[in-house]
Chains A and B, each alone.
Chain A
Amino acid sequence: MSEPLINASGLCLERGGRQLLSNFELQVGSGELVLIEGANGSGKTTLLRSLAGLSELGQAGTITRNCEQLLYLGHKFGIKLQLSPAENLHWFCHSQGLDPAGINSALDRVGLYGYEDVLCQSLSAGQQRRVNLARLYLSSGGLWLLDEPFTAIDRDGVKALTQTLIDQVAGGGSVVLTSHQDLPLDVPLRRVILGATA
């Protein structure tokens, strides 16, 4: 295996006066799918945010990122309700340095064909989630950090998303995700369980 895409060593996380992780080690190489599990409040979200570089408060240890492209999808969808899906993704592409030419096909793949120009406020919660997930089809390769990507998605959507994760991993990218449900397809994955030592 070549150099890991992301390497966290000696990571200690503290939030609200509570020690969530101490001396945590995680290396994610290319082609790996890592599922982070743990009870509510065990620090899954904080860990993902730390890996993304959004959270530095109460963090000790080192995180080195070695990836061209990093995509983080959190609890918040990052979608403007007053903009259409296409407009939302347009800004996203420019901000992440991605090619906006793929927007239509990405929306097509999440089942939003025909909704490109409808304002997001008229979409259902699940459809808004799909706009959020359409980002995955715009940025293949690199590292994906996905926080609970399966919430608010119907059963077919979960299957399609899982297939996307498999494709991403097969294409040399890697995925770190948190989820409360098991993946529906048989995927070779590595489980990391948080809170086992506490």
Chain B
Amino acid sequence: MWSFFHKLGSPPWMYRISGSILSWLLPLTLLLLAVGSIWGLLYAPADFRQGNSFRIIYFHVPASVVALAAYYVMAIAGAVSLIWKMKMAEVAMKSCAPIGAALTFLGLISGAVWGKPTWGTWWVWDARITSMLILFFLYLGVVALYQAYENKAAAAKACAVLSLVGTVNIPIIYKSVDWWYSLHQPATIKFTEESTMHSDMLQPLLLMILAFYCLFTCSLLLNMRSELLRQGAGTNWVREQVLARRGTKGATDAV
């Protein structure tokens, strides 16, 4: 167990392992995304009320679900980095924030695109979308805090603390926004409380959620790898990686 922990803390090991994971995970992700999109966009039955416009949930819902999960991944990585002072957890946490922000942004944009045909307006202060917007701000806060610190080791610790504070707050924020919305609910159709979904619609959705989780994992690993290279610039293992990469390009490249 402990030796595994030690390996996990070693950049070259992590770089190698993540490379071999990506070699099969990346194609799998693309396959899942392709199958899920085609299934959801072309073959799933149209909604009897919203027609074809509902199909955007195949992007909206997975992006939103994974965006929230990514925050918890970030916070857990932050907690691990604070408690066990594990460098790799810091790298994971730092790499998680921009991906989470991007997913949240995707969720917001797809929500707006969905809102136009449904409510007739791009933006509605619906409970779920409002929570999403706040989650987006929470991510931006972490990213901005990291950027503001010159000392990157301090930046990682500060962001870990902030993301833990956010973790405690997210349930409170979500609940309070729900409550706020129920108080001010306009008389229009209650649309986000989906009626039970038909399984023909649900299956591609579940597949897309799985695909987005894989996509998140791939992005996280890729982001971590580039961060590892950046932090390790000048060390021996990075030099070896660079030399190996040059070697594969052929002997014509003079070193």
Contact = CB atoms under 8 A, between A and B. Distances in A.
- Please determine if A and B sit in direct contact within the complex, based on CB atoms under 8 angstroms apart: yes
Interface of A: 16, 57-58
Contacts of B150: 16
7 contacts: A16-B150, A16-B151, A57-B151, A57-B153, A57-B154, A57-B157, A58-B153
Interface residues of B, number: 5
Give the interface centre of B150, B151, B153, B154 by most chain A CB atoms within 10 Å.
B153
* Prevailing SS type, chain A contact patch: loop
Contacts of B151: 16, 57
Nearest to A15: B151
Contacts of A57: 151, 153-154, 157
Contacts of B157: 57
Nearest to A16: B151
Interface string B140-176: 0000000000110110010000000000000000000
A142 B153 CA distance: 32
A56 B191 CA distance: 52
B152 to A, nearest CB: 9
A58 B151 CA distance: 10
A16 B151 CA distance: 7
Nearest to A57: B153
A72 B153 CA distance: 24
A192 to B, nearest CB: 26
B196 to A, nearest CB: 53
Interface string B114-150: 0000000000000000000000000000000000001
B88 to A, nearest CB: 16
Nearest to B233: A17
Nearest to B154: A57
A96 B150 CA distance: 31
A162 to B, nearest CB: 35
A158 to B, nearest CB: 34
B86 to A, nearest CB: 14
* In the complex, the 4 A-B pairs of residues with the closest C-beta atoms, listed nearest first: A57-B153, A57-B154, A58-B153, A57-B151
A105 to B, nearest CB: 40
Nearest to B157: A57
Nearest to B151: A57
B156 to A, nearest CB: 9
Contacts of B154: 57
B132 to A, nearest CB: 34
A57 B153 CA distance: 6
A118 B231 CA distance: 51
A57 B158 CA distance: 12
A16 B149 CA distance: 12
Contacts of A58: 153
